[in-house]
């Protein structure tokens, strides 16, 4: 077997995983549990993994930074996974090599792309320059500083706008309203006809009530034309309007920018990498993708008629987490020359955070809202935190703080 054999993976070369989020880190952890696993390298520019579904609780101080953002060196210590703190800038699929921003050229036997998504500005003027986003630890710090400023200045008619009433926008608007305690009006601006259009009906109803209880002003059917330093230009059925704002938080839409790959792989219309049901990139037998960047379109989603009719799985941590397990198995099958298994998404339900100490969830025909749902959501995510040692550390911290 030679390294440039077009069909067979080089079993001496490492599996390289690009991106240490839900898709990438959990693939590395699943592979590391195999007794004789191949050499593994994770390339990720950030120092800490970020458990994004609990970012709201970091903003509201209900959870601590180390709990939802453990360091990669701690998570991977003693697991046989090397971590390179760097960013991949190009990939040569034929040569099975990649280049990093730090100037390293590295070879791989198989490559996993799990570079996730970014906030999408849709080219709307002022979004990049004047709005805040909510995806990183730095974003949390900026928002905490903003809340602090609005609370201490306490000027009349202070206003904060959250754009996008998908799960992120709704969850964020509820937390911000609780943190502001009336120091500013929170507006939630949505282009579509309703908040949470994709959510389960129970969660949507609970979210609507949670927004109403907090006086969050939900403006549906409202398109953002421009974001300014102190205003938002909107268009709705009643015409155009300029809204004075102290800040805008942009949560609408996702953009996908994997590192450039030669020869260029097929992408879907949103720019995501089209993958086979096995999570292999189409036409690239040694390249795989997981998480938000991987597109399983309806036509390629599974091998049976039932699978083909199923809608593609959503861009969620739940999907990325499940793909990681399936992908780890397929990487090893490919190395052994065995046929690969299709990924099948198992929908385990939906949970949303709705302000301090409140949540709503739907799982297995069971619905729950309020404080009990908040605690159950926390517990459910505890079992999804990366690695048993980190789960135990966090659980011990919660028990020590009980009731918190």
Ligand X SMILES: Cc1cc2nc3c(=O)[nH]c(=O)nc-3n(C[C@H](O)[C@H](O)[C@H](O)COP(=O)(O)OP(=O)(O)OC[C@H]3O[C@@H](n4cnc5c(N)ncnc54)[C@H](O)[C@@H]3O)c2cc1C
Q: How far is the CB of 182 from ligand X (least distance, A)?
A: 24
Backbone phi and psi for residue 174, each to the nearest 5 degrees, phi listed first? -65, -45
87 binds ligand X (CB under 6 A): yes
Judged by CB under 6 A, the residue of 315, 327, 362, 368 near ligand X is 315
Residue whose CB is less far from ligand X, 253 or 291: 291
Could you tell me if 100 and 87 are in contact, meaning their C-beta atoms sit under 8 angstroms apart? yes
21 binds ligand X (CB under 6 A): yes
Residue keyed to tokens 């609370």: 151
328 binds ligand X (CB under 6 A): no
Q: How far is the CB of 15 from ligand X (least distance, A)?
A: 15
Give CA–CA dist 204/13, Å, rounded.
48
Q: How far is the CB of 125 from ligand X (least distance, A)?
A: 23
Give CA–CA dist 89/30, Å, rounded.
26
134 binds ligand X (CB under 6 A): yes
Contact range with ligand X by CB under 6 A, out of 48-56, 188-196, 201-209, 302-310: 48-56
214 vs 143, 179, 398, CA distance in Å?
18, 11, 28
53 binds ligand X (CB under 6 A): yes
Q: How far is the CB of 142 from ligand X (least distance, A)?
A: 14
Backbone phi and psi for residue 143, each to the nearest 5 degrees, phi listed first? -70, -40
Which of positions 154-173 make contact with ligand X (CB under 6 A)?
Answer: 168
Beta strands 280-281 and 284-289 are: antiparallel
Contacts of 357 (CB under 8 A, 6+ apart): 62, 371, 374
Beta strands 359-363 and 366-370 are: antiparallel
394 binds ligand X (CB under 6 A): no
Give CA–CA dist 166/332, Å, rounded.
37
Contact range with ligand X by CB under 6 A, out of 41-49, 205-213, 335-343, 396-404: 41-49
318 binds ligand X (CB under 6 A): yes
Judged by CB under 6 A, the residue of 10, 44, 178, 187 near ligand X is 44
292 binds ligand X (CB under 6 A): yes
114 binds ligand X (CB under 6 A): yes
Give CA–CA dist 46/356, Å, rounded.
28
60 binds ligand X (CB under 6 A): no
116 binds ligand X (CB under 6 A): yes
187 binds ligand X (CB under 6 A): no
Could you tell me if 282 and 113 are in contact, meaning their C-beta atoms sit under 8 angstroms apart? no
Could you tell me if 296 and 313 are in contact, meaning their C-beta atoms sit under 8 angstroms apart? yes
- Reference 22, options 284, 289, 274; nearest CA is 289
Could you tell me if 386 and 25 are in contact, meaning their C-beta atoms sit under 8 angstroms apart? yes
Residue 267 per-residue DSSP state? B
55 binds ligand X (CB under 6 A): yes
Q: How far is the CB of 42 from ligand X (least distance, A)?
A: 9
Count of CB atoms situated within 10 Å of the CB of 262: 11
Q: How far is the CB of 64 from ligand X (least distance, A)?
A: 17
Give CA–CA dist 301/286, Å, rounded.
19
Residue whose CB is less far from ligand X, 20 or 158: 20
Residue whose CB is less far from ligand X, 68 or 334: 68
Residue whose CB is less far from ligand X, 11 or 46: 46
- Reference 247, options 158, 155, 171; nearest CA is 158
Give CA–CA dist 68/51, Å, rounded.
5
Contact range with ligand X by CB under 6 A, out of 39-47, 193-201, 229-237, 363-371: 39-47
Q: How far is the CB of 286 from ligand X (least distance, A)?
A: 18
320 binds ligand X (CB under 6 A): yes
46 binds ligand X (CB under 6 A): yes
Backbone phi and psi for residue 366, each to the nearest 5 degrees, phi listed first? -110, 135
Residue with the shortest CB distance to ligand X: 21
109 binds ligand X (CB under 6 A): no
Positions that interact with ligand X (CB under 6 A): 18-24, 43-46, 52-53, 55, 87-88, 114-116, 134-135, 168, 259, 291-293, 315-318, 320
């Amino acid at each position: 077997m030679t390294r440039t054999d077009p069909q067979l993976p080089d079993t001496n070369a490492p599996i390289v995983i690009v991106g240490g989020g839900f898709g990438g880190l959990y693939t590395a952890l699943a592979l590391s549990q195999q007794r004789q696993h191949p050499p593994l390298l994770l390339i990720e520019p950030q120092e800490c993994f970020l458990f994004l579904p609990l970012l709201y609780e970091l903003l509201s101080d209900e959870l601590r930074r180390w709990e939802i953002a453990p360091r990669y060196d701690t998570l991977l210590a003693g697991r046989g996974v090397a971590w390179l703190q760097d960013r991949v800038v190009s990939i040569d699929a034929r040569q099975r090599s990649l280049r990093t921003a730090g100037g390293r050229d590295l070879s791989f036997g198989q490559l996993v792309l799990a570079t996730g998504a970014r906030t999408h500005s849709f080219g709307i003027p002022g979004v990049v320059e004047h709005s805040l986003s909510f995806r990183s630890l730095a974003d949390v710090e900026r928002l905490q500083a903003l809340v602090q400023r609005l609370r201490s200045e306490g000027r009349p008619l202070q206003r904060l706008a959250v754009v996008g009433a998908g799960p992120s926008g709704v969850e964020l608007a509820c937390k911000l309203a609780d943190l502001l305690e009336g120091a500013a009006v929170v507006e939630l601006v949505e282009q579509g006809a309703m908040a949470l259009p994709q959510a389960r009906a129970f969660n949507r109803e609970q979210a609507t009530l949670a927004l109403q209880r907090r006086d969050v002003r939900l403006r549906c059917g409202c398109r953002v034309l421009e974001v300014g330093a102190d205003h938002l230009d909107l268009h709705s059925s009643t015409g155009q309007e300029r809204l004075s704002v102290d800040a805008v938080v942009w949560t609408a839409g996702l953009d996908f920018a994997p590192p450039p790959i030669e020869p260029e792989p097929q992408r879907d219309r949103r720019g995501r990498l089209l993958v086979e049901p096995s999570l292999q990139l189409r036409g690239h037998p040694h390249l795989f993708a997981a998480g938000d960047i991987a597109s399983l379109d309806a036509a390629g989603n599974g091998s049976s008629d039932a699978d083909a009719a199923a809608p593609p799985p959503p861009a969620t941590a739940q999907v990325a987490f499940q793909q990681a397990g399936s992908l780890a198995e397929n990487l090893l099958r490919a190395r052994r020359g065995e046929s690969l298994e299709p990924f099948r998404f198992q929908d385990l339900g939906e949970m949303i955070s709705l302000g301090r100490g409140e949540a709503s969830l739907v799982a297995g025909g069971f619905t729950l809202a309020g404080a009990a749902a908040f605690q159950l959501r926390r517990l459910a995510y505890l079992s999804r935190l990366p690695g048993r040692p980190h789960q135990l550390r966090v659980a011990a911290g919660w028990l020590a703080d009980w009731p918190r």
